[in-house]
Structures are given as C-alpha cells and as structure tokens.
Amino acid sequence: MKIKEGFILRKIDNTGVVVPVGDAVQNFEGMIILNETGIFLWERLLNDAEASDLASSLTSEYGVDAETAERDVNAFLRKVRGAGLLAEQTRSRDTQHRK
Amino acid sequence: MALYHFAGLVVEMDPQHPTLLKQASPYLTQERNVRPDITIQPEKGYIDAIRKAAPHFSPDMAEYCRFGTLFYRALLYFDGMMLHASAVVLDGRAYLFSAPSGTGKSTHTSGWIKRFGARSFILNDDKPAIRFQNGVLYAYGTPFSGKSDLSRNAVAPVAGICMLERGEQNWIRRLTAEEALPFLYEQTIRRLTREEGTHMLETLIRVASSTPLWRMSCDVSDEAVDLSYRAMSGVETV
C-alpha cells in the first residue's frame, strides 16, 4: 500500500500538515495534521510499504518496542485509510493471510 | 488592457460588466510602461460554462466571481492568499474575523464600526487579500468582496485573525498555530493545482506561525465587541 497521488506535506515545528492538490481535492477536501511519528510513517508510505515494514522501521528509527510500533502503525493506518488516502496493493497478499 | 493595483501588485485585466468595472475602478492606476505582475484573462466561453453549471448566475456575476478566483489563485505566487473574513481596520491595524457564511462576521465587524466610529472602517467585508511584504503580514481591500460591495482600497498590518463561531456565551481564547490551521484552510480557496497548493500551504503555515490567532464564540452584543477588541488589540480596558 502507499499514499495516493496528489497530497503535499509541509512541516511546522514537529507537526506535519497535509492537504490535497489537483484532482485529489475532488475526493478529499480537508487537512490532515500529523505528529512526528505520523510524518515519519507518511514519508515511508510515499513508496509502497506493508504494515510490518512500517512497524520495523519505526522500531529501528525510534527504538520503541515492537508492540508499541505495531499499535502506532495501526492507529496511523486507520486514520489515513479512513480518509481514503491509501492506495491498497495486493502484491504481498500472504502477509495478510498469516494474521 | 487596463492596469490596476491590487494588494500591492500590478494587475492587468479588461472587465466588461458593471459590477467588476465599478468595484475595480478605485484601483485603476495611471502608471504606464510597468510590467504587470498578474494578467487576468479568463478562458473563452467561461461565462457560458459557469451559467451552464449555475443558471442563476448573470454574466455580470460570472465575470465578477471568475476574475476574483483567478486573481486570488495568482496571488498565491506572491506570498499572499485570500481569507474568507470580514476585515476591520482600527487605529491603522487590521482585525480579521473569519468563519463560514452565515456565522455573523459582518455583524460583528459592523459592531466595531458602531463602537469606534471614525477611528475604524471596513477594509473588506468578505474576501480580503493577506500578503507578506518584508516579513510583515498586511491585509488589503480588493474589488472582490463577495455579495457585499463593502471594501476600501487600503492596506493595514494584520493585528490578529479570529475564527468566529456563534454561541450563547461570549468567550475568546488564543489558538496555537496547529489548532488554527484547519480553520484557516477551510476559509480559503482549496481547489488548487499542485503548484498553487504548495504556495498556499507555505503561506498558510507562515500566517499561522507569525500572527496572533483567536477563537471566539459570541452573540450579537456590545459586550462581544468589547471582548474581541480588548483581547485582540492588547488593550486592557476600553
């Protein structure tokens, strides 16, 4: 999965601010505020990544334990998926089956 | 094409219909041989296109709205943007009250005019331009002021921006930049290209991090006017 095309991110202190541009405005007309972890995950998801990749990169970047990383990733994914900002991929379907 | 000065920029355009011609006339400049910063030239057939989507729009209104949108989109390239707000100037400083239509922005600023008389005037009752120049945020009157024709060819540094809501009780509090950003974003042009949107977001963040921002709930009363004035101007007693 990855973030859909048509969003821009700018930072103010440790807060990320995301708005849609171009055609993306047709589907999502709002602003997303991200904390530091959110910015990190957003930038990872500009390229294709799975939840497990995100969690492990969060662990190595911030030194949080695996459980916390997974919880943070899931909360983030719920937020961006709920807003319809994720382009889902079927590439690594077996990762989902294992759950 | 005729040359105008809007928000400190030289704008070239040739409106044909009475509303825009009249509202833009105070901004005409006699300068010649200057290069326009902005040229407003809508695509051919735009009036028919607008009226197809919104048949109640007269050609006059279609021109006024289209030119306004084109100007405010071009303004994004000059450290500026439109804010949907009623802007009042008092003692040389601009106070902007922003909110969705129907909240009572104009009602509130007209209370300021009643209260302060000749010390104050309405800069733009609906869509002022705000623009950074030499690191200072200024508010400008423009010909584009929504349904109202209340606007003046004038400029003043911005003392504060207040996001207004209607309520039974009167209160006002400071907003952090992060709190204010979604409100500000809601009150400007959102349908933008990637390039325009990037400029807009950068200006928006600069506004939010450099300007006193407020959230106010108010009814229609003199008390509400005193409350916003005292808080936003930094004056303890009126």
Q: What is the pLDDT of residues B75-121, one digit of tens each?
A: 999 999 999 999 999 999 999 999 999 999 999 999 999 999 999 99
H/E segment holding residue B208: helix B194-210
Q: Position of tokens 């952090």?
A: B176
Q: Which residue's structure tokens are 């990762």?
A: A95
Nearest-Cα residue of chain B relative to residue A27: B191
Whether residue B204 sits in one domain with residue B99: yes
Q: Are residues B33 and B87 in the same domain?
A: no
Based on the domain organization, do B70 and B99 belong to the same domain?
no
Same domain, B138 and B64: no
Window from A21-25, B63-67, B140-144 with minimum mean pLDDT = A21-25
Residue B192 domain-assigned (yes or no) = yes
Least Cα distance to A37 among A80, A6, A1 occurs for A80
For the domain that residue B167 is a member of, what is the CATH number? 3.40.50
**Could you tell me the CA-to-CA distances from B14 to B9, B28, B129 in Å, in that order?**
16, 11, 20
CATH code for position A54 = 1.10.10
- The predicted structure's pLDDT at residue A90: 52
Q: Structurally, how many domains does chain A consist of?
A: 1
Which residue, B78, B108, B140, sits at the end of a domain? B78
pLDDT tens figures, B207-232: 999 999 999 999 888 899 999 999 99
Residue B184 is assigned to a structural domain of this protein:
yes
B191 and B115 housed in the same domain: yes
Contact B196 A25 (CB under 8 A): no
Coil, strand or helix at B145: coil
Q: Taking CB atoms and an 8 Å cutoff, what residues of chain B touch A13?
A: 177
Residue at B238 is within a domain: no
C-alpha–C-alpha distance, residues B207 and B199, integer Å: 12
CB within 8 Å: A29 and B182: no
B9 and B119 assigned to the same domain: no
Asked if the C-beta of B179 comes within 8 angstroms of chain A's C-beta atoms, the answer is no
Least confident of A51-65, B22-36, B81-95, B222-236: B222-236
Q: Which domain holds residue A93?
A: 2-97
Number of compact structural domains in chain B? 2
Residue ranges making up the domain that contains B33: 2-78
| CB < 8 Å to A16, chain B | none
- Indicate whether B238 pLDDT > 70: no
Helix (H) / strand (E) element for B227: namely helix B222-233
> Helix A51-62 and helix A36-44: axis angle, to 10°?
130
The confidence score (pLDDT) of residue A46 equals 94
* Domain end (from B78, B95, B111): B78
Contact state of B197 with A29 under an 8 Å Cβ cutoff: no
| ipTM of this complex | 0.87
Q: Are residues B201 and B94 in the same domain?
A: yes
B193 contacts in chain A (CB < 8 Å): 21-22
Res A92: pLDDT: 52
**B126 and B224 fall within a common domain:** yes
* C-alpha closest to that of B88 among B41, B37, B126, B124: B124
